[in-house]
Amino acid sequence: MHLNVFVMTTGHHEASWRLPESDPYASIDLAHYQNVARIAEDAAFDSLFLADSPHLPGPVRRRPWGMLEPLTLATALAAVTERIGLIATVSTSYNEPYNVARTLASLDHLSGGRFGWNVVTSPDLPAARNFGLSDLPSHASRYARAAEFVEVAFKLWDSWADDAIVGDKAAAIWADESKVCPIDHVGEYFSVAGPLNVPRPPQGHPLLVQAGSSEEGRQFAGRYAEAVFTAQQTLPGARAFAEDLKARAAAFGRDPSKVKILPGLVPIIGSTTAEARALEASLSELISQEYAQGQLASLLQVPVSALPLDGPLPFADLPPEESVEGARSRFSLVVDLARRENLTVRQLIGRLGGGRGHLTITGTPEQVADEMEAWYSAGAADGFNIMPAVLPSGLSVFCAEVVPLLRKRGLFRSEYAGRTLREHYGLDRPAVAVPAGNGDQRQPRLGSERLV
């Protein structure tokens, strides 16, 4: 079983920053994140995950939305850890593939092969408005761009053969030039000459992670993703999702066992079920209803007035899923949850406040471990994306109480066996896809050397 910790400032619960134990400045405090990373590494977690969006994602009045940028934060965390993998989110919609491929290659070197890239397409309009656009690019075009973006990154990482560096001082040959080749990519979205200016990453390619669950998102994941984060509410639903994704991977000629499905899990742990429920309730009480109502209205694309707190969702007035150009799969999940469990708006808000659509298990360590084992054994999950409601305490409790149970059951490692993130996830190191060294035609064509 693979375990990833989702690192969200003071915790995944939207009101976690209001707890007495939380520091309101934690979102910009490196020491806070370093502490979380060390706790997860001490428990031999596979990786930690940093979400991202290239805009201010919500009203700062209510939550610590002003945060550190994930790539720089992940780098600083790599510097104080030895083994744990680091997965950072980078948008393909508002970046250039040369810059991203390069940064990730550099991070993979810096961290000794511990990096992963969560590929997202940024579903929010305010992000587009930070990059010269007045409209959100369509869902389909965002995923088409993402696919080409990833292809360019692969080519750039493969533009250096693994053995390109020679380092022959006597002969004055630092690298074998026939093994460092332009890529000359010309596509619909990008034209990139290459080669990369960073040697091939230790992992060949940093691990590719994906977290969108719409039709296009699944297709993208089936083609490229090596680990998939997903929000799932039920075991059968999760199993269907996992089977679907692995079938898609197989259809692309990939080994389905090399695609790891990691549903989000918010563990709310008490020594008794009652204690756990009390903890959950105390967090729910800290949620601002009015704010949550506004967020829900925005996700569902209806006016706030259509969401009376003690009534049901206005199912008939909701837009059809296909018309949602933003976070399409989350839209469906929320609607399905409300319909399946017949929830009022207020109840729905309570359910989303902690898990935001992810599975929440409120109970004793045994109950949490049982549920995890059930999902794992049923093929509904290859592991979990642990999303502590409160950080660092929720993670500490999980590591102290649940991880030992998983170990006793032979489900989770006691210590790291490998060094790289790929090794932790049991994934192969990709070979260079485009064989290098085709003679003259592939010689780098360079202008004048930079004379700084």
Which positions lie near ligand FMN, rule CB under 6 A?
A: 51-53, 89, 120, 122-123, 211-214, 216-217, 229-231, 264, 327-330, 385, 451-452
Distance of CA 402 to the CA centre of its chain: 23
Tell me the C-alpha distance between 375 and 386, whole Å.
Answer: 14
Residue closer to its own copies by CB (options 118, 364) is: 118
CA-nearest of 67, 65, 63, 5 to 286 is 63
Q: How near is the Cβ of 90 to ligand FMN at its closest, in Å?
A: 9
Element (H, E) at 210: strand 207-210
Tell me the C-alpha distance between 359 and 362, whole Å.
Answer: 10
Q: Which does 253 bind (CB under 5 to 8 A by kind): its own copies, ligand FMN, none?
A: none
Q: Which does 230 bind (CB under 5 to 8 A by kind): its own copies, ligand FMN, none?
A: ligand FMN
CA-nearest of 421, 383, 80, 430 to 224 is 430
Q: How near is the Cβ of 120 to ligand FMN at its closest, in Å?
A: 4
Residue closer to ligand FMN by CB (options 72, 273) is: 72
* Alpha helices for 390-437 (secondary structure H): 393-397, 403-408, 421-425
Identity of residue 407: R
Q: How near is the Cβ of 422 to its own copies at its closest, in Å?
A: 18
Q: Which does 405 bind (CB under 5 to 8 A by kind): its own copies, ligand FMN, none?
A: none
Residue closer to ligand FMN by CB (options 214, 364) is: 214
Q: Which does 10 bind (CB under 5 to 8 A by kind): ligand FMN, its own copies, none?
A: none
Residue closer to its own copies by CB (options 139, 330) is: 330
Q: Which does 164 bind (CB under 5 to 8 A by kind): ligand FMN, its own copies, none?
A: its own copies
Residue closer to its own copies by CB (options 124, 370) is: 124
Q: Which does 379 bind (CB under 5 to 8 A by kind): its own copies, ligand FMN, none?
A: none
Tell me the C-alpha distance between 42 and 34, whole Å.
Answer: 12
Q: How near is the Cβ of 441 to its own copies at its closest, in Å?
A: 16
Q: Which does 363 bind (CB under 5 to 8 A by kind): ligand FMN, its own copies, none?
A: none
Q: How near is the Cβ of 121 to ligand FMN at its closest, in Å?
A: 6
C-alpha to C-alpha distances, 191 to 96, 133, 152, 183, nearest whole angstrom: 10, 21, 9, 10
Q: Which does 217 bind (CB under 5 to 8 A by kind): ligand FMN, its own copies, none?
A: ligand FMN
CA-nearest of 282, 266, 233, 249 to 380 is 233
Residue closer to its own copies by CB (options 72, 257) is: 72
Q: Which does 66 bind (CB under 5 to 8 A by kind): ligand FMN, its own copies, none?
A: its own copies
Q: How near is the Cβ of 268 to ligand FMN at its closest, in Å?
A: 17
Q: How near is the Cβ of 342 to its own copies at its closest, in Å?
A: 21
Angle between helices 345-355 and 273-284 (to 10 degrees): 110
From first CA to last CA, the distance across the chain in angstroms is: 50
Residue 421 near residue 46 (C-beta atoms within 8 A): yes
Tell me the C-alpha distance between 169 and 122, whole Å.
Answer: 47
> What is the 3-class SS of 232-292, one letter each residue?
CCCHHHHHHHHHHHHHHHHHCCCCHHHCEEEEEEEEEECCCHHHHHHHHHHHHCCCCHHHH
Q: How near is the Cβ of 431 to ligand FMN at its closest, in Å?
A: 29
Residue closer to its own copies by CB (options 186, 316) is: 186
* Alpha helices for 84-178 (secondary structure H): 97-110, 125-128, 139-157
Q: How near is the Cβ of 98 to ligand FMN at its closest, in Å?
A: 15
Residue closer to its own copies by CB (options 2, 32) is: 32
Angle between helices 139-157 and 97-110 (to 10 degrees): 50
Residue closer to ligand FMN by CB (options 169, 450) is: 450
